C-alpha cells in the first residue's frame, strides 16, 4: 500500500481567526495559501505521474478540506472523504487500524495537520512516536508499506517541501 501524506496549505492565522469569531476548525486557507497549494498540487501531479491516487482522506478541519479539494482537482478527481481519525490529536494506532479496515491495498492520500502527520510518518517508519521530521505547509511525503500500514513497516520513498513541489509543477 502506498500512502501520500500532505499538510494543509497556509491558513488564516489563529489569532486573526479568533478575532473574527472563528474556531480553530473554521480557519480557512488564505488567498496565498490557495495559490501556493495549487502550485504544489501541480508539482505533486508530476511526482505521482505513475501513481494514481484512489482516495483522498482529509481531516474535518476546514483548511484541510479546502486543501484536499484543490488536490483532487489536480489528481484526476479521486473521491475526497472526511476522516475524523485525522483530526488533531491523531492516535497513531487508530489511524493504522482505520486504514486497514477501510482501504486495504488502495493508494490513499492523507491531508491533515502538524505535528500529527510527522508523528504518524515517524511511527510508520520506526514504530516510535518520536517526531523525526516536520512538514511545511503543503509539503508531502510518499510512504510504501508491504501491506496495509502498521507502525514500523513503512519505507519513505520521498519527502518534498511545498517549494520543491512548486518547482516540479
Cis bond upstream, residue 103 (ω within 30): no
pLDDT of residue 104: 72
pLDDT of residue 148: 86
Domain 2-168 has CATH 3.40.50.1240: yes
pLDDT of residue 61: 98
Interatomic CA distance for residues 156 and 141, integer angstroms: 7
pLDDT of residue 101: 83
Interatomic CA distance for residues 142 and 115, integer angstroms: 17
Interatomic CA distance for residues 59 and 134, integer angstroms: 18
Tens digit of pLDDT for each residue in 69-124? 999 999 999 999 999 999 999 999 999 988 888 777 789 999 999 999 999 999 99
Interatomic CA distance for residues 106 and 14, integer angstroms: 35
Query: Which DSSP category does 75 fall into?
Result: T
Residue 45 has pLDDT above 90, yes or no: yes
Q: Where are the domains of the chain?
A: 2-168
Amino acid at each position: 500500500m502506498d500512502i501520500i501524506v500532505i499538510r494543509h496549505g497556509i491558513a488564516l492565522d489563529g489569532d486573526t481567526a479568533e478575532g473574527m469569531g472563528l474556531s480553530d476548525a473554521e480557519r480557512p486557507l488564505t488567498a496565498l495559501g490557495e495559490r501556493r497549494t495549487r502550485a504544489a498540487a501541480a508539482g505533486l501531479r508530476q511526482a505521482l505521474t505513475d501513481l494514481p491516487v484512489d482516495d483522498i482522506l482529509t481531516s474535518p478541519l476546514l483548511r484541510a478540506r479546502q486543501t484536499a479539494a484543490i488536490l483532487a482537482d489536480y489528481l484526476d478527481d479521486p473521491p475526497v472523504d472526511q476522516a475524523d481519525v485525522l483530526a488533531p490529536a491523531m492516535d497513531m494506532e487508530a489511524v493504522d487500524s482505520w486504514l486497514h479496515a477501510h482501504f486495504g491495498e488502495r493508494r490513499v492520500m492523507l491531508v491533515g495537520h502538524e505535528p500529527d502527520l510527522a508523528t504518524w510518518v515517524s511511527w510508520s517508519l520506526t514504530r516510535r512516536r518520536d517526531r523525526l521530521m516536520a512538514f511545511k505547509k503543503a509539503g508531502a511525503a510518499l510512504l510504501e508499506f508491504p501491506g496495509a500500514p502498521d507502525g514500523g513497516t513503512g519505507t519513505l520513498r520521498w519527502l518534498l517541501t511545498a517549494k520543491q513541489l512548486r518547482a516540479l509543477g
